[in-house]
Amino acid sequence: MIVRSIHHLRATRAAAAGIAALCACCAYAGPQSVRATYNGYLNGIHAGVITEEYEAEGGHYRLASDTKTIGLATLVNREPTHVSSTGQITKTGLRPIQFEARRNAGEPAQIAASFDWPQRQLTLRHAGKTESVPLPPGTQDRLSAMYQLLFLPLDRMRSIDFAMTNGRKLDQYHYSVTPDVELDTPIGRLKTLYLVKERREPGESSAELWVSAQHHYFPVRLVTVQRNGLRFEQMIQTLDIRE
Dump pLDDT digits (tens) for 102-126.
987 778 899 999 999 999 999 999 9
Query: 121 near 64, Cβ under 8 Å?
Result: no
Residue length, the chain? 243
Please give the average per-residue pLDDT across 37-54, as a whole number: 94
Q: What is the distance between the alpha carbons of residues 164 and 221, in angstroms, rounded to a whole number?
A: 20
pLDDT at 24: 43
pLDDT at 21: 40
Higher-pLDDT residue of 65 and 1 is 65
Q: What is the distance between the alpha carbons of residues 223 and 193, in angstroms, rounded to a whole number?
A: 14
154 burial type by CB count under 10 A (0-12 exposed, 13-18 middle, 19+ buried): buried
Question: Does 74 have pLDDT greater than 60?
Answer: no
| SS3 state at 214 | helix
Count of other CB atoms within 10 angstroms of residue 101: 26
Question: Does 60 have pLDDT greater than 50?
Answer: yes
Kindly report the average pLDDT of the chain as a whole number: 86
Dump pLDDT digits (tens) for 140-155.
999 999 999 899 888 8
What domains appear along the chain, each with residue ranges and CATH number?
Answer: 2-242 (2.40.360)
Question: Does 22 have pLDDT greater than 50?
Answer: no
Count of other CB atoms within 10 angstroms of residue 27: 14
Question: Does 23 have pLDDT greater than 70?
Answer: no
Question: Does 3 have pLDDT greater than 60?
Answer: no
Please give the average per-residue pLDDT across 21-42, as a whole number: 77
Candidates 122, 154, 159; CA nearest to 137 is 122
Query: 230 near 223, Cβ under 8 Å?
Result: no
pLDDT at 104: 77
pLDDT at 106: 79
Dump pLDDT digits (tens) for 170-226.
998 889 999 999 999 999 999 999 999 887 777 778 889 999 999 999 999 999 998
Stated as kind and residue range, the H or E segment containing 15 is: helix 2-15
Q: What is the distance between the alpha carbons of residues 13 and 218, in angstroms, rounded to a whole number?
A: 10
* Backbone angles phi and psi of 71, in degrees to 5: 65, -140
196 burial type by CB count under 10 A (0-12 exposed, 13-18 middle, 19+ buried): middle
Q: What is the distance between the alpha carbons of residues 189 and 180, in angstroms, rounded to a whole number?
A: 12
pLDDT at 7: 53
- In Å, how far from its chain's centre is CA 57? 21
The Cα-based distances of 207 to 101, 121, 180, 196, 221 in angstroms read 22, 28, 19, 6, 11
pLDDT at 79: 56
Please give the average per-residue pLDDT across 14-27, as a whole number: 47
Question: Does 76 have pLDDT greater than 70?
Answer: no
Give 4's pLDDT tier (boundaries 50, 70, 90): low
**Pairing assessment for the beta strands 170-185 and 33-42 based on DSSP bridges:** unpaired
Give 19's pLDDT tier (boundaries 50, 70, 90): very low
| SS3 state at 36 | strand
Amino acid sitting at position 39? N
